A and B are shown apart, each in its own frame.
Chain A
Amino acid sequence: MMIPDFPPIRVLPEGAPERENIRAFLDEQLDPFSPAERARSWSACDARFSEELGKQGLIGLTWPEKFGGKAASHLVRYRIVEELLAAGAPVAAHWFADRQSGTMLLRYASERQKARLLPRMAAGELYFCIGMSEPDSGSDLAALRTEARRDGEDWRVTGSKIWTSHAQHAHYMIALVRTGSDESDRRTGLSQLIIDLSSPGVTIRPIEDQTGDAHFCEIFLDDVLVPADMLLGEPGNGWAQVNAELALERSGPERFLSSHVLIEEALKALSENPSETLTALVGHWTAELWTLRQMSLAVAGTLERGGDPMVEASIVKDLGAQFEQSVPRDLQAAWDQADIADESGELDETLTYLVGASPSFSLRGGTREILRGIIARGLGLR
């Protein structure tokens, strides 16, 4: 029986920029953004901001220097990323390239593709998106049907992907596709391809979400030509590769900071001595935020030491999503005009946005139910 383990982090990120320098940069950059805009953070694309961040050398930090990185540790990246998210920076354009696609390329791409793509990703000019879900294959990822068949050495891809965030802005998609078939195990015969989204046969249609934003997309692939060296890793090894990729996206600070801008704005708007209800709510937030950050840092420490904290990462994401969802809900429930000064209406606007956006927090990147299944497997129950 394995009890999930969260040993406290013991080290500061070596050679990381000082927080005050990151904050000074962000204060300047984010000045024109309203709180409700900042609350969108890693759901908001801003090419100018991503390029500026690239110029500062803050994208692809962990990648080797020859590919535009800084060969920094994951803990250095963690510090930068948590500062970006806490401030509500619009990071979505380069987010997926920085968080996972770059790492996937480093692990599995040809040297030629690494040299061609990574430096522009690190510059904040080249964006990636994730092609996993399909119309009939959501949580049940292995049911996917998009097919790649050989065309000489190259591949021809036909099918469709859905719920892909920011595909309309992205230049490339790492897609999980079927390259072989095995009736007995759906997980074999899957491969990952890097698809150039400007290729003939690619159609991208944004889908408006319930808040009125349109960040996720449907992508139609009609006999799209993918050159041979755009295969990522081994043919047939896609399932294992994708699971390693998912581990990269489940324990980071984006899993508990999605409502952080609302917390800071609420603190600004609260009166000198608010009601006990509101004071206790603030106390509750600080305790949860501190605990989740400690848990997430513990997972980052395990990753840095080369461990495989799949179960722990799922725990952070599930607890983190519950917290992020509770923040707007509980503020709405405790709202008291006598204690909250919001003449501009900006706090109300931020709250309204997050009440609408928060259902997605426990859906994206693995639903609550999928995560609990992973945890149960780790506990030896399945």
Chain B
Amino acid sequence: MSEHRAMLLDMVDKLFTKLVENGVRDNLSAEDFSRHWRAIEGLGLTRLLIPEQAGGFDGNWEDAGPVFKALGSYGITLPLGENILAQHWLHRLGQDIPEGIIQPAFAESRTGDVLVLRNGAGFAKAQWIFALEPDRWSLLPTGNADRSPSAKSGAVLRCNISTSVANGPLETGDRAFFSEAALMRACQIAGATETMLRITLGHALDRTQFGRPLARFQAIQHQLAMLAEENAAASCATASACQAALAGDAQFEMAAAKFRANRAATLAADIAHQVHGAIGFTREYSLRHFSQQAQAWAREFGNERHWALWLGRFALEARPDPLWNWLTARSDDVLAREQRGQS
């Protein structure tokens, strides 16, 4: 690992440890939220993928992946990942980065100048929306948006495109952003499965029943082995996709990583809860921050059905080239580019 990356991750570990001590996982008041967010912004983390000459951290996907993963492993749901990606895209699109929190959102429909956007509960905290249509982007202030009365927790917004402070064509298409956001979520899931594994191992070693620790029961040992396997798959798939993203086009790897991480999210949560018994089901115990969050992340930016169909079409369209041939060509290409980059 480069020294630069080691320093970044050390800084992130220290910051996230402190945020957790300060209650970042609790239900946050607007004031608490702002306080935590200022701590993150103060370190420049939202500018992670912006070049140094533009005042950024000059990071790449292999720096961002571990930061996204750390969000998952610490159970932090502040929209850091979303802002890292939105700022990265705005910079690439030649746009100055505005002050404040940006929420990326995909347009569900457009009638005249009115965009209907849907993207979870993130709108409430954001000052800006980075709105993506299939071939256009726009940056909109949330102040002028109309929160649909029928929407739960502000999940749907109507925005008039005439209020945008900037907009333009999207040559890569909005799916490229969707794939990157999917990999971000996949990394977060991999972080959450790792913490689920750690917490569950700790519990199995500490908790005694029938006169011995749970860890001594073969049935429990095998459950934990399977949890470790799922964590390994999510971790390796996401790290490999970040490596591919650094080398070039990685839509396939991002899709595969999100699909595999989604599967790991549910399997890991099942095992972690089963081994914990009722203790893990309490609100007080920390497991829920990881088990529930991992499954929420699995729903966002493409569930398993979405990515399985996407990947299936990708493989079918590649015919008559055998699957094996293009799969190995892609991975050889990632390594060849990486070696060229290093030399």
A interface, CB within 8 angstroms of B: 1, 3-4, 6-12, 19, 23, 82, 86, 260, 263-264, 267-268, 270, 273-274, 276, 278-291, 293-295, 297-298, 312, 315, 318-319, 369, 371-373, 375-376, 379-382
Contact = CB atoms under 8 A, between A and B. Distances in A.
B332 interface: yes
20 contacts: A8-B239, A11-B339, A12-B332, A12-B339, A19-B332, A23-B325, A270-B316, A274-B316, A283-B309, A284-B259, A286-B256, A286-B311, A287-B307, A291-B236, A291-B256, A318-B225, A373-B221, A376-B222, A381-B204, A381-B205
Contacts of B314: 283, 286
A3 B327 contact: no
Question: Do most interface residues of chain B lie in helix, strand or loop, or is the interface mixed?
Answer: helix
Given A6-B239, A12-B339, A290-B253, A263 B312 contact: no
B205 A293 contact: no
What are the 7 closest A-B residue pairs judged by CB atoms, nearest first?
A: A283-B311, A283-B312, A279-B312, A376-B221, A283-B308, A375-B225, A6-B236
Contact of A319 (B229, B310, B312): B229
B226 interface: yes
Nearest to A280: B308
Contacts, number: 171
Given A263-B323, A264-B322, A280 B309 contact: yes
A315 B197 CA distance: 15
Categorize the interface residue count of chain B. Answer: 35 or more
Q: Among A8, A86, A264, which residue has the most Cβ atoms of chain B within 10 A? A: A8
A382 B214 CA distance: 11
Contacts of B194: 3
Given A9-B335, A382-B216, A375 B228 contact: yes
A318 B233 CA distance: 12
Interface in B279-330: 305, 307-316, 319-320, 322-325, 327-329
Interface string B200-239: 0110110000000001101011101110110111011101
Nearest to B334: A8
B203 to A, nearest CB: 12
Contacts of A376: 221-222, 224-225
A3 B197 contact: yes
A381 B201 contact: yes
Contacts of B179: none
A260 to B, nearest CB: 7
A283 B310 contact: yes
Residue of B232, B256, B259, B310 most packed against chain A (CB within 10 A): B232
Given A12-B332, A12-B339, A286-B314, A1 B201 contact: yes
